[in-house]
Amino acid sequence: MLFKFFINICKKMTADRLDYRNKIILAPMVRVGTLPTRLLALEMGADIVYTEELIDLKLVKCVRNVNDILGTIDYVDPSDGTVSFRTCNLEKSRLVLQMGTSDADRALAVGKKIQQDISGLDINMGCPKEFSIKGGMGVALLAQPDKACHILKTLVDNLDIPVTCKIRILPSVEDTIELVKKLTSTGIAAIGIHARTRDERPRHNPHPEVIKEVAKHVSIPVICNGGSRDIEKYEDILKFRNLCGASSIMVARAAQMNVSIFRKGGLLPMDDLICKYLKLSVDYDNPPHNTKYGIQSIMREQQETPRGKLFLQSQTMQHMCDIWNMGDYCRQKELELHNKGNMGRRQVVPGQVPDSDILEVAAKKAKTDESVEDDEKDIIEENVAFLRCNYNIKTDHFPKTQLYVFANKNDKLPPTYVTEGKDKLFRSICTFDDKRYRSTFWQKNKKQAEQAAALVCLKNIGLVTTEELIKNGSILR
């Protein structure tokens, strides 16, 4: 009976583990593979989704936070409150995190930290970018197969989730086969293979015949990659997989341009796709700069149209949503999340995150007035953020300039600023006409902190209105 019990447990564990066979996969793509894209890829028909490459050095210092407002798990960088990795239950059973690493112990520390929130861990051994190579990551590991195997073996032996790696082919078919045999001997669950060498780029023809030969010599699933230049519709995905003789396929650039490539019913119109992507970005509080990059990838040459040029000028989520008639939805959703207590960038303050011992104080250039904390009673404070995107450098005066011009015209002393810096965050006090003004919002640099303080002053002396600041996103109400 005891033997049967253990057999059943083993069967259940096997059933729960991510299966890489006969799958169509969203490939790891830097800046693209964030939560909105991954969820949209799954909606369109992808079987598995990979995150963008996330570096172990960044992840190892992150703090895990359960975000009940968004329904997500956030890995937060405690140095500035930014979210390095965000996921949710909708994708957990089909989510693989790709990690950039050159150290087995560090990789294991990250793996143990995040394995409860993902279904697979992939080690990037195929990125040819200089950043990866200089750090001993990516394709640099292919030149050190023993080290690569040590990293994989360490993870396979100590994690509860399947471990994989993604490589590029070597110039020699025989050498590629030997490398793959060595890597697969570590017990990894699958191996992704890009059909180009480390020195080849998308403009070069892929080599599906190499992957086909490699696949004959391994028993684990081979996931082919590198066919996007010839993938224009769903059927082309299957065609390239067959050319490679692979069990599964992952799609990168073709999915970046139109993630509905995974849709058996055909591609969605560009505007429909962008609206879906925007809604997910708003719902999951995706950073505007990342959302903008994703839409740029979808629009491509359409960025040269009048609407495209208007889009390129946008910086906030509201600005982008307005272009696709989703502005009201965006404003209502952001307000809803704010009222529920979502910890967005606006609420980030120094020292709010545990493990503060790993924080770096980056206030070297900030003038810190120690007497500020002793006398704060007369400071006029408001939660007003300075958003650079609201100002055209060629036509608009920034808040500090507006205040300076006003002072000059009215024969008043120019404003002065004192800035404090803590944990890579900055906040200024603007002194003008014998009164002091400060934003409760901590900015990411000294200059923006001074602009925010000037903006609070402008509001209080009537040079800008609350309505204007609400409309452009500087005040969230």
Per residue in 296-323, pLDDT (tens digit) is: 999 999 999 999 999 998 878 989 999 9
pTM of the shown model: 0.78
Structure tokens at 191: 């191996």
Question: What are the tokens at 393?
Answer: 């450098």
pLDDT of residue 118: 98
- Please answer whether residues 100 and 53 qualify as being in contact, where contact means their C-beta atoms are separated by less than 8 angstroms: yes
Residue from 58, 107, 103 nearest 85 by CA: 58
Do 430 and 401 meet the contact criterion of CB atoms below 8 Å apart? no
Q: How confident is the model at residue 355 (pLDDT cuts 50, 70, 90)?
A: very low
**What whole-number distance in Å separates Cα of residue 409 and Cα of residue 286?**
42
- Per residue in 86-137, pLDDT (tens digit) is 999 999 999 999 999 999 999 999 999 999 999 999 999 998 888 888 889 9
CA distance 73 to 284: 11
**pLDDT for 473:** 72
Which of 62, 88, 127, 330 is the catalytic position? 127
At 131-180, the pLDDT tens digits run 888 889 999 999 999 999 999 999 999 999 999 999 999 999 999 999 99
Whose CA is closest to 441, among 452, 431, 450, 430?
Answer: 452
Task: Write down the pLDDT at residue 340.
Answer: 85
Give Cβ neighbours of residue 95 (< 8 Å, ≥ 6 apart): 38, 48, 49, 50, 51, 87, 118, 119, 120
The answer to whether 180 and 167 have CB atoms below 8 angstroms apart is yes
More confidently predicted of 38 and 423: 38
Round to whole Å and give the CA distance between 237 and 229: 11
- Structural domains in the chain plus CATH codes: 15-266 (3.20.20.70), 269-344 (no CATH), 369-472 (3.30.160.20)
Known catalytic membership, residue 127: yes
Check residue 349 and give its pLDDT.
61
Q: Half-sphere exposure of residue 96, counting CA atoms within 13 Å on the CB side?
A: 31
| Cα 28 to Cα 50: distance, rounded to the nearest angstrom | 5
> Within 13 Å and on the Cβ side, how many CA atoms surround 250?
27
User: Tokens 């965006």 — which residue?
Assistant: 330
With residues binned 3-state (H G I as helix, E B as strand, rest as coil), the percentages for the chain, rounded to 5, are 45, 15, 40
What does the pLDDT read at residue 385? 86
The string over 426-440, giving b where at least 16 C-beta atoms fall within 10 Å of a residue's C-beta and e elsewhere, is bbbbbbbeeebbbbe
As a whole number of angstroms, the distance between CA 353 and CA 81 comes to: 8
Question: How far, in Å, CA of 393 to CA of 387, rounded?
Answer: 13
- pLDDT tier, 351 (very low <50, low <70, confident <90, very high otherwise): low
- Roughly how many angstroms between the first and final C-alpha of the chain, as a whole number? 63
Tokens found for residue 86: 């965000």
| Token pair recorded at residue 25 | 């996969």
User: Kindly report the CA angle at 423 between 418 and 425, in degrees rounded to 5?
Assistant: 50
